Amino acid sequence: MPQTRLGLVPSILFFSRWLQVPLYLGLIVAQAVYVWYFMVELTHLVEAAFGSKDALEIILKNVTPAGADTVKVPPETVVMLVVLGLIDVVMISNLLIMVIVGGYETFVSRMKLEGHPDQPEWLSHVNASVLKVKLATAIIGISSIHLLKTFINAHSYEPKVLIAQTVIHITFLISALAIAAVDRIMPQGRAHAAKAAAGGGDQSAH
C-alpha cells in the first residue's frame, strides 16, 4: 500500500510527537535515582541487621513522621516498615516502566517487539485506555503500601492524618473503578475485552 504524503502542517503536527522522547529519557534518569535509593535503603537494613547503630538510627529517622518523636517499636516492626518502603520503591519503578514503555509505544512510535522473547505480556495489547487502567491500578497499589505503613506506625500520626489518607485511598479506588467502567462502556473497550478473552481462550486450548 503506497505511503500517504502529508502536507507541511500535518507533517509538523505528526512529527511533534518526538518531542516527548526527552520526557521519557528523563523518566529513565528518575528510575536510576530510585534504584540508587533502593540500594541505599537495602544497605542500611543489612547493616542494621548486623548490629550497626548508625544504620539503625538512619532507619528510625526515615520511618519517623516529620515533626514527631523517634518511633519506639519492636525490631520486627522496623524491618517491616523498611521492607514496605522498598516495595513502595519497586512499585513506583514498575509504574515508571509502564509510563515509559507504554507511553512511547502508544503516543510516539511502535517498538516492533512482536515475537521478542522479553516482550511484556501487557504491551502486546496496549492502548491509551488500557494504559490508563493499568496506571490507575498501579497507583492504588502504591497508595495501599503507604496506607499500610501509616497504620503500622499509627501511634506516630494524628487521627486527621489517618482519616485523610484513608479517604484519599478510597478516592483512588473509586477513580480506578470509574476509569475501568468507562473503558468497558466505550465500543473500543468492549472490542478489546472480547479480543483479550479470545486470546486467553486460544492459549488455554494450546
Average pLDDT over residues 145-162: 83
Look up residue 69 and give its three cell numbers. 518523636
Higher pLDDT, 106 or 21: 21
Q: For residue 184, is it within any domain?
A: yes
Mean pLDDT computed over every residue of the chain: 80
pLDDT band at 27; cut points 50, 70, 90:
very high
Q: Phi and psi at residue 132, in whole multiples of 5°?
A: -60, -45
pLDDT at 101 over 80: yes
In Å, the largest CA–CA distance within the chain is 71
pLDDT at 170 over 90: yes
Q: For residue 6, is it within any domain?
A: no
CA neighbor of 156 nearest in space, from 54, 63, 46: 63
Q: For residue 185, is it within any domain?
A: yes
How many structural domains is the chain composed of? 1
* Burial class of 115 by CB neighbour count within 10 A (0 to 12, 13 to 18, 19+): exposed
Amino acid at site 160: K
User: What is the length of the chain?
Assistant: 206
CA 40 to chain centre: 20
**Separation CA 38–CA 21 (nearest Å):** 26
Q: Which domain holds residue 168?
A: 16-111+123-205
Q: For residue 53, is it within any domain?
A: yes
* pTM assigned to the model: 0.71
Q: For residue 3, is it within any domain?
A: no
Which residue has cell 532507619? 59
**Cβ count near 95 (within 10 Å):** 19
pLDDT at 196 over 70: no
Q: For residue 1, is it within any domain?
A: no
Q: For residue 10, is it within any domain?
A: no
Q: For residue 4, is it within any domain?
A: no
| DSSP secondary structure string for all residues of the chain | -PPPPP-HHHHHHHHGGGGGHHHHHHHHHHHHHHHHHHHHHHHHHHHHHTT-HHHHHHHHHHHSPTTSPPP---HHHHHHHHHHHHHHHHHHHHHHHIIIIIHHHHHT-----TT-TT--GGGGG--HHHHHHHHHHHHHHHHHHHHHHHHHTGGGS-HHHHHHHHHHHHHHHHHHHHHHHHHHHSHHHHHHHHHHHHHHHHHHH-
pLDDT at 204 over 50: no
Higher pLDDT, 68 or 129: 129
pLDDT at 86 over 80: yes
Higher pLDDT, 30 or 1: 30
